[in-house]
Every structure is written in structure tokens, then in C-alpha cells.
Amino acid sequence: MSRPVPNPGILDIAPYTPGKSPVPEAGRKMFKLSANETPFGPSPKAIEVYKQAAAHLEDYPEGTSRVLREAIGRAFGLDPDRIICGAGSDEILNLLAHTYLGRGDEAISTKHAFLVYPIATKANGAISVVAPETNFTADVDAILRLVSARTKLVWLANPNNPTGTYLPFDEVKRLRAGLPPNVLLVLDAAYSDYVSRNDYELGIELVATSDNTVMTHTFSKIHGLAALRVGWMFGPASIVDAVNRIRGPFNVSTPAMLAAVAAIEDTAHQQMSKIHTDKWRSWLTEEVTKLGLTVTPSVANFILIHFPLEKGKTSADADAFLTKRGLVLRALNNYGLPHALRMTIGTEEANRLVLEGLREFMARK
């Protein structure tokens, strides 16, 4: 039977698998801690603006997301003309790959990097090259050793998902300095709003002072607008111009755009979420470690918990045990971390219940 055939390599791509959603059960409260969603939801101001936008759903959005680009520019002190908005930062990552990668090119990411990177790379016929990490952290020297004449792009999530680790700004600058000028460095700063380290910078300075670096960000995390799919990129004028040539003209809906403006302007809501995350991330790391489990130090809104290989004590066993109690964490087999679970920082109630569940799990004979 004759039928359309996908381009070479497409069927070799493992599809992205999101964190599982809990299945509600009568009489049991469920806590979804598998997708790094904020437990507080979006700013009430964003919700109100979103509702108001429903009165004009017959109108196309403004095609360049101008009001949102201007709001981002005010929040970060950036030129709005050097900002692109998209349907989540995922769309922008794919646009960058489509713009700068072709058949036979190479793009480098790290061993436990965000799964969208190899997908976007391979979807454009390019080769995904994986650099080893050190202590679940990106290793600049390991990345630079893999650069070849075919390298066109380097993906770097900083902080990284799913490990929660980060590179200090000096190391990011060292990476940029070690790359050829024709190689695009993509800094994915989706979790930057949660970082409280003096040696961290989300990438704006590098973008502002180079012609070969971009920084992407999202409204899905601290702003709580994951359902609306809003992301953005800050980049050199030449890269913004190139990506805009293939970007869909109405890729951000009006309700999403206006809600994002209200969200980024509600700094009190953001600060409340950050303070909560700082407190409970530290508490969980300390208390889970006391149970004899290893926790990778995280600067994001989640922690990575490592489990023993002993039968009955594995991450799969823990996942099943916690899920039965309505506590849904993220298994990481598709990230090459079969012995770990990632836990999103939740409400105080959820955090305490997970610790209680882990304590019971580890105490089992």
C-alpha cells in the first residue's frame, strides 16, 4: 500500500512524554507533583484579564505580541524589538532549530537535558550530540570537546530540568568564549525565577554583548500560565529577524498575551511563590536526605531524589507506593535516570505528605 512517508529520521525520534497526571479516586485527595507546576496558580490579575478577553474572541491577535514584548522589556530592561514571543518556549526552541539546523549539522546538549532539545534537533535532520555531565551538572569542557566543524548550535538549560543544577555565569561565559562564532548558544532560562545564587545570571548580559547567543524564557513556571502556552526569547537583532520570518503570525492568542502581561507585572505574586519555593526546597532536601536518600542540590522549583537499587526500595517501588497515596511524582526513565524521581515543590500539605510517605516507604522491611 502506497502512503506518505515521513522524512528520514522522524520515526527514530522518541516522542516527548509529559509527567503523568493523577487519576482522581473517590475519597482521596490527589497531588500532582510531576510537572513542575506552581501550587499557587496564576496571579488573580492574570485570571481577570483572561476572562475579560473572552468578549472579543472573534478578533485575530496582534501579530507581533507587541503589548507583551513591551511588558517584558519593562520588566527586564530590554529592547522589545529584540524579543520574540511564542506558544510556550517550546515553540521558540523548535523555531530556532528550524532556522539554524539542517541535514548533517550537529547540535550539542547534555546527558540529562530537556527532552525537547534532541527532538527539535532531529526533526530538522540534524544530529543530536550528547555531552557527559559532572555530578548531574553541565560540564563546559565536555561540551567544548564535542564541538566539530558540523556543530551549529548548543542547547543549555540553566537551571537544568530535570536535575535542578546550574552553571555559574563565569562558566557560561567560558562556554560562549570557547565556541566558534558561527555556533548559536541557546540559554534556556525557564527556571531562572527560582534561583537565589549570587553567581547566577539568566543570560541577558551575554545576549546583549554578542551576536551568537539567545535566551529563552517561559510563563509556565512561576507565572502559572502553563495552560496558555506563552514563552519568549531575547536575542540579537539578526537572529530575531531570521526567526520572525518563519514564525506564525498569530502564534500567541490574545487572552494568553494579556494574561501574561498582567502576570509579569504582578511582582508580589512572583515573590510569594519564590519565597515559598526557597523555604520548602531547602526543607525537603534536608529531610529527605535524613531518610538515607540522596538529593541532587537544586536551585529550581523541584528536587531530584535518588533511590537504591535494592529490590523493594527502587524508584519504581517508591513511585508506586506514593501514587497509591495520591502523591504523583515524575519517573525519569526517558531522561536516563531510571533510579530517580523528580518532585515538584508543592503546597505545605503536599510536601509534608510526600516526606511522610517516603519515611513509611524507607521503613518497610
Summarised one tens digit per residue, pLDDT across range 301-343 is 999 999 999 999 999 999 999 999 999 999 999 899 999 999 9
- Choice among 15-24, 29-38, 165-174 with the minimum mean pLDDT: 15-24
Q: What is the pLDDT of residue 26?
A: 59
Asked whether the beta carbons of 126 and 133 are under 8 A apart, the reply is no
pLDDT band at 225; cut points 50, 70, 90: very high
The b/e string for 185-217 (b: 16+ C-beta within 10 A; e otherwise) is bbbbbbbbbbbeeeebbbbbebbeebebbbbbb
The answer to whether 126 and 102 are in contact (CB under 8 A) is yes
Residues contacting residue 17 through CB under 8 Å, at least 6 positions apart:
115, 334
- Secondary structure class of 347 (helix, strand, coil): coil
With a cut of 70, say whether residue 123 has pLDDT above it.
yes
* pLDDT digits 0-9 by tens, 48-57: 999 999 999 9
The CATH superfamily of 21-41+268-363 is Aspartate Aminotransferase, domain 1 (3.90.1150.10)
**pLDDT attached to residue 20:** 65
The mean of the pLDDT values for the chain is 95
Q: Span 182-190, mean pLDDT?
A: 98
Amino acid at 52: Q
Q: Domain 44-265: state its class.
A: alpha beta
Kindly report the pTM of this predicted structure.
0.93
The C-alpha cell at 105 is 549539522
The cell numbers describing 153, all together, are: 548550535
pLDDT band, residue 27 (cuts 50/70/90): low
| pLDDT grade for 21, boundaries at 50, 70 and 90 | low
Nearest-angstrom CA–CA distance, 219 and 226: 7
Q: What is the pLDDT of residue 24?
A: 57
Q: Delimit the CATH 3.40.640.10 region(s) of the chain.
A: 44-265
Percent of the chain that is helix, strand, coil (3-state, to 5): 40, 20, 40
pLDDT score recorded for residue 10: 78
Q: pLDDT at residue 5 above 80?
A: no
| Whole-number pLDDT of residue 15 | 73
Whole-Å CA distances, 75 to 42, 220, 313: 17, 17, 46
Q: Is pLDDT at 73 greater than 80 in this prediction?
A: yes
**Given the C-alpha cell 564535542, which residue does it identify?**
146
As a whole number of angstroms, the distance between CA 257 and CA 247 comes to 16
Instruction: Decide: helix, strand or coil at residue 57.
Output: coil
First to last CA, the chain: 57
Per-residue confidence band for 14, with pLDDT thresholds at 50, 70 and 90: confident
Helix pair 88-100, 237-244: axis angle to 10 deg: 100
Q: Give residue 2's pLDDT.
A: 82
Check whether 155 has a pLDDT greater than 80: yes
CA angle 255, 119, 203 (to 5 degrees): 65
| Separation between Cα atoms, residue 41 and residue 47, nearest integer Å | 9
Q: Quick one: average pLDDT of 82-100?
A: 97
Q: CB of 343 within 8 A of CB of 330? A: yes
**pLDDT value for 245:** 96
Residues of the chain with CATH 3.90.1150.10: 21-41+268-363
Name the pairing type of β-strands 127-131 and 106-110: parallel
CA atoms within 13 A on the CB side of 265: 16
Task: Check whether 19 has a pLDDT greater than 70.
Answer: no
CA 240 distance to own-chain centroid: 21
Tens of pLDDT along 226-279? 999 999 999 999 999 999 999 999 999 999 999 999 999 999 999 999 999 999
Q: Check whether 44 has a pLDDT greater than 70.
A: yes
